[in-house]
Every structure is written in C-alpha cells, then in structure tokens.
Amino acid sequence: MEQDLFRGELVRLVAEDTDSMVKAFSHWSRNSEFTRLAGSQPAIPHSARATRKWIEENAEPIKVDNYAFSIRTLADDRLLGDIGLDGVHWSHRESFVGIGIGDSEAWGKGYGTDAMRIILRYAFEELNLRRVSLNVFEYNPRAIRSYEKAGFKHEGRMRGYLNREGRRWDVIFMGILQEEWRNHDDHIAT
C-alpha cells in the first residue's frame, strides 16, 4: 500500500476534465498518422464540438466494465493521451486494453510503455483480472515493441484485415495473463 497505484516512472493516470480532453483530442485528430494508428476507420479530423459530444455520450454514466484514464507526464503535467480497460468481463476476469498517445512529440520516449505498465498493475492488482488483451495494426512496430516490453505475447492475427494506402495489413492480437505479468521483470519497475 506504499505505492501510488496511478503513478509510474514517467507518467501518471488521471481522471481528466472534459474541456482539456476536448481541446487535446480534437487537436490530435488533425494528425492523420495518429488517427491511423488509433483506429481502423478512415482518418478524419474531428471538431471540438463533435469531440465534446462523443466524450459526453461515452463518459457518463460511469460503467463498472470500463475504466478510462488520461495520461499525464510526471515532469511537466503535460496531457499525452488516454488509456483504459474496456468491456471488462467479470465472469471471465478479462478485459481489452486500449491506449493512444496523441502527442506525437512524446512518441518513442517510453511514455506509452510506462502507462501500459500502470494499467496492467491496476488490472491485475486492483481489479484482480486474470487476462488483458489488445489488438494492434501490423504497420505499428513501435507499439508492438512497447507491448512486448510490458509482457504481452503474440496470440494471433487477422490476415489482410485493414486497407491502408493500397495495401492490406494484418491486425495482430496480443494478450497477457496475470501470472505472466507477475513473472515479468518490467512490472516491478513501476
């Protein structure tokens, strides 16, 4: 109980106010590289108004199967992105995790890996989940390496699922079990 549950080495997870989220997410949606990494839908920028509407419709009421956080740096409290456990299945003790680092200047600096380590600690120690899963696009090797560092294992792929720039790309499925996380050296660092 000595450790701050929502704090890592580089970032902390917080509940974000709507105005900050609207400003950041509508700004990040203008970066087509980010939107292509974050989702399989065609890249499209979103206005502040559309972003606010989506946040307000999806943020309340708080659901017992979704746990969403914003990611802020420890050094300067900068908002970097979001992370969350979505669709927790309590009978199976499993969930899907999603992360997005919208601030492209923060890419490749370990913030996402640190945030993932925090959410896994939360999932396995606080919520007592047994399994956490994710999917990632084949063309995102930076994210794949980050997930591997956090202890995720490759579990499969959906071949040729996604069309980008006239080429078909696979969706890669990854997962981590609680016992794998407990035995993974990196979770101790957080």
- Condensed to tens digits (0 to 9), the pLDDT of residues 75-118 reads 999 999 999 999 899 999 999 999 999 988 999 999 999 999 99
pLDDT of residue 70: 93
Q: Would you say residue 2 lies in a domain?
A: no
**Domain extent at residue 128:** 11-189
Residue burial 139-178, b: 16+ Cβ < 10 Å; e: rest: ebeebbebbebbbbeeeebeeeeeeeeeeebbbbbbbbbb
Q: Would you say residue 140 lies in a domain?
A: yes
State pTM to two decimals: 0.83
Q: Please name the residue ranges forming H helices in 64-184.
A: 111-121, 141-149, 178-183
pLDDT of residue 190: 44
Positive or negative, the Cα torsion across 145, 149, 150, 153?
Answer: positive
* Alpha carbon 167 to chain centroid, angstroms: 25
pLDDT of residue 10: 97
The answer to whether 135 touches 172, Cβ cutoff 8 Å, is: yes
Residues in the chain predicted with pLDDT less than 70, given as ranges, are 1-2, 31, 33, 36-37, 40, 58-63, 185-190
pLDDT of residue 60: 54
Q: Would you say residue 6 lies in a domain?
A: no
Residue 100 in tokens:
């997005």
Q: Would you say residue 38 lies in a domain?
A: yes
For residues 141 and 135, what is the distance between their CA atoms, to the nearest angstrom?
12
How many domains is the chain partitioned into structurally?
A: 1
Residue 153 in tokens:
């294992």
CATH number at residue 152: 3.40.630.30
Q: Would you say residue 1 lies in a domain?
A: no
